[in-house]
Amino acid sequence: MKKIIEGLHRFQAGYFESHRDLFEQLSHGQHPRILFITCSDSRIDPNLITQANVGDLFVIRNAGNIIPPFGATNGGEGASVEYAVSALDIEQVIVCGHSHCGAMKGLLKMSKLADKMPLVYEWLKQAEATRRLIVDNYNHVEGEELLQITVAENVLTQLENLTTYPIIRSRLHQGRLFLHGWIYSIETGEVLTYDPEVHDFVSIESRTNNSEYKYNLHPSCSVGKSIYGIRDVNTVKNSPTETVTQSTNPNPNPNLPRSNRLSPEQAQRIYRGSR
C-alpha cells in the first residue's frame, strides 16, 4: 500500500496538476469513443497499450474478457455494453484477449475448478461456447498452442455474443457500429487484430481496409495459424491453397435465431453453449 499511496501523491502533484484543464472538462461528462473489453489480468492496461488519454476509453474488464449472450445473465457486462452504445453513442468496440490468459487455462480444465474455485467455475460457464468449440475441433492440439488458439477463438466468440444484444444488432444494421477483435502479447507488446478477409489474426498494419467485422468464420478454419508468426495478408490472399467455404443455408436449425451475420456453425457455437 505504501507504493500505491506514494503513486497517488505523485499523480495529484504531477499529472493532475499539469492536466487540470482536461479533468475540469471531464467533470462535466464523459465522451469516450471506444468500448474496450478485456481481461482483469494485472498485466494488461488498456490505456497504457493504446496510449489513450483519460476519458478516451470506456472499459469493461472481467476474467477472460467474457460478454455473456443477451439474457444469459443479469451481470454488469450487458448493462455496461448497453450504456456504452446507447447513452454514450460509442461506435467502436474492441474485444481484447491476451497471451497466457489464466481464465482460458481454467476453461480448458473446468473439472478442476468446481471444488477449488466454485465462483470462477460458475463464471467460466459463460464461455461454454468457446470450450465446446475447442473440444470438438482442436483435440489434436495441446499445450501452449492450444491455449493460444483458445484465446483467439474466445475473442471471436465474445464478438459473436455481442451481436445477440438488441442495441448492438440495431447499430450494426445501421452501419453505426464496428467490432474489432484483438490479441495482446504480454511478452512482445504486439497486438494482432482479426481480419475477416483472411479469417485470421494479423498485424494491425497488414490488415485490410475493411473496417467492419464480418461474422463468417467457420470452426474448421484454424485461427491459431498466425499466433506464432504473423501472416502477411497479401501472401494469404494470393495463396492457391487458401480457400474459404461459404454456407448456402442461412439457418438449418429452425430453433436457432436467424442472422445474416452468423454462419450456421457460429450459431451452434453461441446458442448451444448459452442455453
Give the length of the chain. 275
User: Helix, strand, coil shares of the chain as percentages rounded to 5?
Assistant: 45, 15, 45
Model pLDDT, residue 135: 94
16-25, 131-140, 205-214, 255-264, range with the lowest pLDDT = 255-264
Around Cβ 45, how many Cβ atoms within 10 Å? 11
**For the segment 226-268, what is each residue's pLDDT rounded down to a tens digit?**
443 434 444 434 433 333 333 333 333 333 333 333 445 544 5
Question: In order of start, what are the domains of the chain with their CATH numbers?
Answer: 29-274 (3.40.1050.10)
**pLDDT confidence tier of residue 205, bands split at 50, 70 and 90:** confident
pLDDT at 163: 95
**Angle formed by the axes of helices 143-162 and 128-137, to 10°?**
130
182: nearest Cα among 34, 81, 42: 34
Cell of 83: 450504456
With both helix axes pointing from N to C terminus, report the angle between 264-274 and 143-162 in degrees, rounded to the nearest 10.
90
Residues 23/54, Cβ–Cβ less than 8 Å: yes
Q: Please, are residues 66 and 155 in contact by the beta-carbon 8 Å criterion?
A: no
pLDDT per residue as tens digits for the range 10-57: 999 999 999 999 999 999 999 999 999 999 999 999 999 999 999 999
